[in-house]
Structure 1
Amino acid sequence: MTADARRTTAHATGRPGDESPFALGLLLRRAHWRAAAVMTEALRPLGVELRHFAVLIVLMDRGPTVQRDLAAETGSDKAGIMRVVDDLERKGLAVRKSVPGDRRARAVEITPRGRELFEAAHVAAEPLAERLAAGLGAGDRERLTELLTRIAYPADDEM
């Protein structure tokens, strides 16, 4: 690379106006941090953390799920998912059950109390989610959701 090319190449700063190849990822990371902080604030009064809620989301969506699949779906490791499921069991929000035909596998299932908490979390999160999106104009929230969906779930699934 020539000295002229180095001078004209944008470097990652993570600040507004960053034109580097890292800019989109850095903005997504910062937006994630803000969204996670809002969701954490909504979940705190309910006595759960975002990592717990992530498992409840999977259980509500997929039904009873083996721990290895929970780990994959939530981006956790085996030990981490075991701690989260232990916490959920202690709180009465989920239970482990044997998987027919597989002595070693255990499926995790959400309890009625877990379903109630899941619904309560959505109610608690609504005003905070509105605050998170307060700086967006008419139609911006829907457009942002559409664009992020296309990034997160690419049609050709290259990743």
Structure 2
Amino acid sequence: MANNPVDPEHQSAGAWAKKYYFATRVVMEAVLRPYGVGPTQWYVMHQLMTVGPTSQRDLARMLQIERATLTGVVAALVRKGLVEQKPDATDQRQKVLNATPAGAALWQELPDPIALILETAFDGIAQAEIDTTARVLREATGKLTALFPKGNES
């Protein structure tokens, strides 16, 4: 039965969204591994390289990860010399992250795993279908987030 949630071949949109997510993680990890960067580290670097200095608190919200998780990710990037962490000028308790020159140099070498994923996953699929899929998942996510907003805070 295709709609039976205990069926290992469950075919719902949610099941496929989860499979897609896990497949993208595998691709990201494989592409970034030779550079010693993990997917979450890449997302931190992406933010810093495309937007600029960002508060660690804001980054946790943007990436929708726990602050403790981000603390470990940032510590690894600092240890590698790719990111610097400084106290915020207006609130010394908060930290602002910025890419170092070494981080900027590595960023220039890194392949873009998101571009590879999009090019590969959606090759041959009409843009209208991609847009519909994104819209449906965005609306469904919004409805579920609204259902239990406290559980969806990061």
Fold match, TM over 0.5?
Answer: yes
Q: 1:90 aligns with which of 79, 92, 101?
A: 79
Identity level (%):
27
Number of equivalent positions:
141
Amino acid at match of 1:133: A
CA deviations over 1:18-76 (Å, ceiling 9, x no partner): 3xxxx111101101111111111100000011111121122234321111111111121
| Alpha-carbon distance in 1 for matches of 2:21, 2:2 | 27
Is 2:86–2:97's contact at 8 Å kept on the other side of the alignment? Answer: yes
- Per the alignment, residue 146 of structure 1 pairs with 131
| Alpha-carbon distance in 1 for matches of 2:129, 2:80 | 35
1:77–1:44 Cα change, 3 Å: same
How far is the alpha carbon of 1:131 from its aligned partner? 8.0
1:97–1:141 Cα change, 3 Å: farther
RMSD: 3.0
How far is the alpha carbon of 1:153 from its aligned partner? 4.7
Give 1 or 2 for the bigger CA radius of gyration. 1
Structure 1 gaps, min length 5: 1-7
Structure 2 gaps, min length 5: 146-154
1:9–1:153 Cα change, 3 Å: closer
Is 2:2–2:9's contact at 8 Å kept on the other side of the alignment? Answer: no
CA deviations over 1:59-113 (Å, ceiling 9, x no partner): 2343211111111111211111111111001111110122112121110111232
**TM-score, structure 2 as length reference:** 0.74
**TM-score, structure 1 as length reference:** 0.72
Within a 5 Å distance, the mapping from 1:60-99 to structure 2 comes to 60-99=49-88
How far is the alpha carbon of 1:119 from its aligned partner? 3.2
Higher RCO (CA-CA < 8 Å; seq separation 6+): 2
- Per the alignment, residue 4 of structure 2 pairs with 11
- Per the alignment, residue 19 of structure 2 pairs with 30
| Alpha-carbon distance in 2 for matches of 1:31, 1:110 | 30
